[in-house]
Amino acid sequence: MSFSKLDSNHIAPASLELYKDPLSLFVLAFPTAINLEEIKLEGFNIGFGKHLDFAVQLLKKSPKLSMLEIHITKGSKASDSGLLEDTIEDDLRMLETVKLNGFRASEMELCLVKLLLSKSPALHHIVIRAARSINDSLHFKAKKKLLNFPRASLKAQIVYHSRSTNS
């Protein structure tokens, strides 16, 4: 995953060569916090392990993070959601807003939402914009699962936009 654009805290992957990119190596190897307050990941493939590893490392190294936005380009058909469980030991204490665009309700995407809800005591909103490619039945199942996830914040609200409300 190389980065075609790095504007303040905006990261857009252009390819999948994660460990060849100097910024990726810097984030993964840097021993202390990088203290980003906002992160925007574009071109994110949640099913690709290196993208997921990179995102988790960014979250771990950004204790002041208040806003996270992810534009998902590919979902995951794999059911290895165990990769996300217990990946972040400490709470994301400052995270208030999460935006997920291109949500396909894959097991990995649902696991990511569950992780963020359970590790973010200051969370106010998770705004999910579903991909146009998912059907109404999948929307319903996803909403049902999302409502049952435990939350670290009593104020956390999930705002779900299906394709009919995306216009």
Mean per-residue pLDDT, 130-135: 89
Is the pLDDT at 109 greater than 80? The verdict is yes
Lowest model confidence (mean pLDDT) among 35-39, 46-50, 128-132: 46-50
How far apart, in whole angstroms, are the C-alpha atoms of residue 73 and residue 88?
23
Q: Answer for the pair 37, 9: CB distance below 8 angstroms, yes or no.
A: yes
Pairing of strands 67-74, 97-103: parallel
| More confident: 96 or 52 | 96
With respect to residue 4, please indicate whether it lies within any of the assigned structural domains: no
∠11-15-17 over CA atoms, to 5°? 100
| More confident: 137 or 16 | 137
Q: What is the structure's pLDDT at 80?
A: 54
Helix (H) or strand (E) holding 148: helix 136-148
With respect to residue 8, please indicate whether it lies within any of the assigned structural domains: no
Give me the chain's average pLDDT, please.
77
Q: What is the structure's pLDDT at 90?
A: 78
Query: Helices 49-60 and 22-29: crossing angle, nearest 10°?
Result: 50
Q: Answer for the pair 36, 62: CB distance below 8 angstroms, yes or no.
A: yes
Mean per-residue pLDDT, 100-109: 91
Q: What is the structure's pLDDT at 114?
A: 93
Q: Which of 71, 65, 72 is nearest to 96 (CA)?
A: 65
Mean per-residue pLDDT, 26-43: 75
Confidence of residue 108 (pLDDT cuts 50, 70, 90): confident
Pairing of strands 38-45, 10-13: parallel
Is the pLDDT at 147 greater than 80? The verdict is yes
User: The domain spanning residue 100 has which CATH number?
Assistant: 3.80.10
Count the domains in the chain: 1
Helix (H) or strand (E) holding 74: strand 67-74
Q: Answer for the pair 85, 55: CB distance below 8 angstroms, yes or no.
A: no
pLDDT cut 90: percent of the chain above it: 37
Q: What is the structure's pLDDT at 52?
A: 77
Domain with 99, as residue range(s), is 30-165
Mean per-residue pLDDT, 124-144: 92
With respect to residue 9, please indicate whether it lies within any of the assigned structural domains: no
Beta strands in 75-153 (DSSP E): 97-103, 125-130
With respect to residue 15, please indicate whether it lies within any of the assigned structural domains: no
∠115-121-127 over CA atoms, to 5°? 60
With respect to residue 132, please indicate whether it lies within any of the assigned structural domains: yes
Is the pLDDT at 113 greater than 70? The verdict is yes
With respect to residue 11, please indicate whether it lies within any of the assigned structural domains: no
∠119-16-120 over CA atoms, to 5°? 5
Q: pTM of the full predicted structure?
A: 0.77
